[in-house]
Amino acid sequence: MEPGRLASSMYRVQHRHKDGSWADMEEVGNHHAPADHDPERGWGVRRLFRCRTCEETAELTPAPRGDTEPSR
């Protein structure tokens, strides 16, 4: 199994729209742009998902060690 497809094969990723409906999100393949950020920092752990209906995006990353509170 490709390492980049691990999260999407184990979980169904969705988000809620303002009208209360839920929509599936799909993992975005190549999202690295050199001008945006240092891509090496997130390789292997950072996953980017995009809503199939509204194009909104979400990032999935592991919490820092010892951090039990979700970041917002």
- Which has more confidence, 46 or 58? 58
* pTM attached to this predicted model: 0.57
Q: What is the pLDDT of residue 60?
A: 86
Give the tens place of pLDDT for each residue, 16-53.
999 999 999 999 875 455 545 555 555 567 889 999 99
Q: What is the pLDDT of residue 63?
A: 81
Write the DSSP assignment of 22-68 as a string of letters.
EEEEEE-S----TTTS-GGGTTTT-EEEEETTT--EEEE-PPPTT--
